[in-house]
Amino acid sequence: MSPRTIAAALAVACGLTGAPARAQSLADAAKRAEEQHVLGPATKEYTNASLGSASGYEVLLGDHYLLSDHFDAYASARDSVAGMRMQSLELDRWLFERLRLAKDRFDREQIYGQDSTVMFALKQITPREYFKTDLAFAHALDDARLSAIDREHLPPARRANAQYVLDHNLAGWAKGSWSERELESRRASRGGFK
């Protein structure tokens, strides 16, 4: 139904016996509806600018992101990416150079999404979910270092994520899986990347 048809139906329904001001406001409403129809529906697009800053990924993470729901897929993907990088010097160099220039997790997400080998290594997790879990894990590691009393004042999801890290002894794993440590060792033995 067009905005003009809607405006006409409203005019008939209201009886148009009211004051000219009401007719004028109805005409204004019809004109605004027509302009909105021409412009199309508004869409929400998330970018660094619209989310406020490089920490805009915090907005995507929200207050209810539970590490326990995502950690296994994240850990598997992280290990798999490191393994793929160990197998291919070319892939390792390509990722190293691009990730070094990345300003934030949005940039890293784009880089991971550009390469089919990395996408294959991620398996069942998208680059967005990977980096959301990466951020939740980083927060959980920091929060796990807090005293039990201080953790009680965290939002429920962050408190649960810190407890997940403590319950599964993940502080040591955060320093890198075997594949990541081996990758760093091989990179150092080749003289690193300049």
Examine the domain organization and report whether 125 and 71 are in the same domain.
yes
Examine the domain organization and report whether 25 and 68 are in the same domain.
no
Examine the domain organization and report whether 107 and 143 are in the same domain.
yes
Find, among 52, 57, 68, 54, the residue nearest to 137 by Cα.
68
Examine the domain organization and report whether 35 and 73 are in the same domain.
no
Tens-digit pLDDT profile for residues 127-164: 999 999 999 999 999 999 999 999 999 999 999 999 99
- Cβ neighbours, 10 Å, residue 76: 16
Find, among 78, 84, 93, the residue nearest to 177 by Cα.
78
- Residue 126: C-alpha distances to residues 46, 119, 130 (Å): 17, 8, 6
Examine the domain organization and report whether 66 and 145 are in the same domain.
yes
What is the chain's length?
A: 194
Give 51's pLDDT tier (boundaries 50, 70, 90). Answer: very low
Number of independent structural domains in the chain: 2
Kindly state whether residue 48 falls inside one of the protein's structural domains. Answer: no
Torsion of CA 72, 77, 83, 86, to 10 degrees: -140
Examine the domain organization and report whether 30 and 89 are in the same domain.
no
Query: What residues make up the domain containing 13?
Result: 3-39
Examine the domain organization and report whether 136 and 79 are in the same domain.
yes
Kindly state whether residue 142 falls inside one of the protein's structural domains. Answer: yes
Kindly state whether residue 64 falls inside one of the protein's structural domains. Answer: yes
Residue 129 is encoded by which pair of tokens? 């979910």
Kindly state whether residue 52 falls inside one of the protein's structural domains. Answer: no
Tens-digit pLDDT profile for residues 1-32: 555 555 555 455 555 444 454 455 667 766 77
Examine the domain organization and report whether 15 and 99 are in the same domain.
no
